[in-house]
Chain A
Amino acid sequence: MKPELSEKIDEYIKNMPSLPTSVAKVLEVCNNPQTSPADLNHVISLDPVLVGRVLKLINSAYYGLSSHVTNLVRAIIMLGINTVKNLALSTAVMGNLAGKKDPLGLDMEGFWRHSLCVGVAAKLLAKKRGIDPKLAEEYFTAGLLHDIGKIPLNTVLSKEYMLTLHEADMERISLHKGEEKTLGLDHCAAGAMVVKAWKLEGAVGDAIIFHHSSEAYAGNSVDVLYSVIAANRFASLGDIGFAGDRYPDKIEKSVWDALGITQEAFAELEPMVNSEIEKAKIFLKI
């Protein structure tokens, strides 16, 4: 990767705005002095950038401790509602200040639907497989944030990324391979920069970095990673949202075996996931 490219991406990551789908609701919730923690948690939990920024704040402050905070509820309790509101508000406002830019290759509402779908599906798969409800929340966060690296690529390299999407489509290859070919790095590598900047190390960070290279993974969060991979497959097959990957790689048998499920589990998921997304759309008023 060229040094100037990584610098541009790093600079963008520092002030990454929230998704356009969330801005109006964030402004409404955060400007209300009587806002409830539950509503604040809800609006943030639907936006991968906001979730990442809140987790960055809590883990930066407590950096170096043995325990890493990976869920919003604990973060809101530890940071306090006003601190989280201020952060969400400033993150939402950032996007508005940026002004109009080049047209983006990746549509942000489609990206949002895909991200939420993967988060919800990963969590539902975890619950279906008997994972403790307390731990299932981490599956949601990992799924929601898995493609976070696409945002800086889509924005900083908007023209090149449009060409990348086109190239992957024409050559019928998966997006991450197309990215590697045309940009010299894929969204997992860009995601690794986000993971580092936002201190998302752990299961969430691993899902961001390894969801297209699980065979190279030697970490401790195999179950979360594999669940995100399966959920990602579910989202692509079901055409729920669109995050640029028209020809996703097939999943290795070892992933299905480790999870103890088959693709038939997806049929049960679909109505539940669609219901969650519709509820989110109503809440966000989009």
Chain B
Amino acid sequence: MLSVRFWGVRGSIPCPGSATVVYGGNTACLEIRADDRLVILDLGTGVKPLGDWLMAEELKKGPIDTDIFISHTHWDHIMGFPMFTPLFIPSTKLRIRGPVPFEDDTLESIIGAQLSYRYWPVRQTELAAKIVYDQIRETVLDLGDGLKVTTKFLNHPISCLGYRFEYQGKSIVTCYDHEPFRNLFPTDPGLPGYDEYAALEGEQAAKDENAKVINFFKGADVLIRDTQYTAAEYNEHLGWGHSSYEDSLASASAAGIKKLIFFHHDPNRTDAQLVELEKVYCARAAHAGVEAMMAREGLIIEA
């Protein structure tokens, strides 16, 4: 059985408080399970409660030995790492994979930079766990025991990967911190900087790249999408690297998605606002033949 549990559902910055107790205020962290096999996706602040839970419930069954995937290295997706308690247990084994923004950086130096005295009282060299880092790009990985993961670059200000987990004929796909590709070049001949070639190639490039993304999550049992904005808000945040409810729903419908999860909530969204948004967009999803729901901490979805 393939499933996902949400430990952090926010983008940008954690937002704990009385207005976020229903959906949660932690930043991105997902627990993927292939039966008992654990995979962690993103190390936002949600990885702290996940780590605490593992210490309390899993360590007694044996050492914590897991694969961790990072979508990208913006701080909200890695800030929980220093507080992931299993780091301090000698028997812990972690394999951390993810993209790096520029080739000269290493994943270890980027994530590990948080573990230096200027930021945190414990240094990377003082960790007890055994950690292996692997910088990845678009690839297909066989994690063994029938669990396969395929990666795809998304559209975000830095290199960001979507992940497609497949197990026993079921699939869970992540596609967050993704903004639909768009033609950045003027298409109106009257505008300054207009160039016929750039206009045509820009339109084709955006169309091609968006088709590749939809193909990546096509037919997924569960699709976890970026819904930081509504369509109106998105138009005021072009180029910031996030999507809208409307686009997420339209592309999920086009791709024949069974369950769509609205995720990466803007930190300013209160529980009351999310309740209202959930009503509106889940109704629209039902109308389009897609089962949709709002991600909240603690939610478990079976593929």
Enumerate chain A interface residues (CB-CB to B < 8 A): 36-39, 41-42, 57, 60-65, 71, 73-74, 76-78, 80-83, 133-134, 136-137
Q: Which of B185-225 contact A (CB under 8 A)?
A: 185-186, 192-198, 200-202, 204-206, 209
Question: Can you name the residue of chain B whose Cβ is closest to the Cβ of A73?
Answer: B201
| Set of chain B residues within 8 Å of A137, measured between Cβ atoms | 197, 201
Return the chain A residue nearest B139 by Cβ.
Answer: A64
B89 at the interface (CB under 8 A from A): no
Judging by beta carbons under 8 Å apart, are A38 and B193 in contact?
yes
SS of B interface (majority): loop
Which chain A residue has the least Cβ–Cβ distance from B104? A14
Bound-state Cα–Cα, A165 to B144, Å:
59
Number of A-B contacts (CB under 8 A): 77
Contact surface of B with A, Cβ cutoff 8 Å: 99, 101-103, 137-139, 153, 155-159, 181-186, 192-198, 200-202, 204-206, 209, 239, 241
> Are the CB atoms of A60 and B197 closer together than 8 Å?
no
| Contact of A60 (CB < 8 Å), options: B103, B186, B200 | B103
CB distance from B107 to the nearest CB of A (A): 14
A73 touches B239 (CB 8 A): no
Q: Which of A63, A74, A76 has the most CB of B within 10 A?
A: A74
A38 and B195 form a contact (CB under 8 A): yes
Q: Identify which of A36, A60, A78 contacts B209 (C-beta below 8 A).
A: A78
A62 touches B153 (CB 8 A): yes
A136 to B195, CA, bound (A): 14
Chain A positions within 8 Å of B196 at CB level:
133
Contact B200 A134 (CB under 8 A): yes
Known: A39-B193, A73-B201, A77-B205. A83 touches B185 (CB 8 A): no
A residues within 8 A CB of B157?
A: 80, 82-83
Q: How far is the CA of A62 from the CA of B158 in the complex (A)?
A: 14
Distance of A81 Cα from B138 Cα, bound (Å): 21
Residues on B with beta carbons closer than 8 Å to the beta carbon of A36: 192-193
Q: Is the CB of A38 within 8 A of B183?
A: no
Chain B residues whose CB sits within 8 angstroms of the CB of A38 once the complex forms: 185-186, 192-195, 198
Contact indicator A81/B239 (Cβ below 8 Å): yes
A74 near B193 with CB under 8 A, answer no
Could you show 21 A-B contacts with beta carbons less than 8 Å apart?
A37-B185, A39-B193, A61-B138, A64-B138, A65-B138, A73-B185, A74-B201, A74-B202, A77-B202, A78-B155, A78-B205, A78-B209, A80-B157, A80-B239, A81-B184, A82-B157, A133-B197, A133-B200, A134-B200, A136-B197, A137-B201
Per the bound structure, the CA–CA distance linking A71 and B159 in Å amounts to: 19
B159 touches A61 (CB 8 A): yes
Given contacts A38-B193, A41-B195, A65-B138, 11 further A-B contacts (CB under 8 A): A37-B185, A57-B102, A61-B137, A61-B153, A62-B138, A64-B137, A71-B201, A76-B184, A77-B184, A78-B209, A80-B155
Instruction: Indicate if the CB atoms of A74 and B205 lie closer than 8 Å.
Output: yes
Q: Is the CB of A73 within 8 A of B205?
A: yes
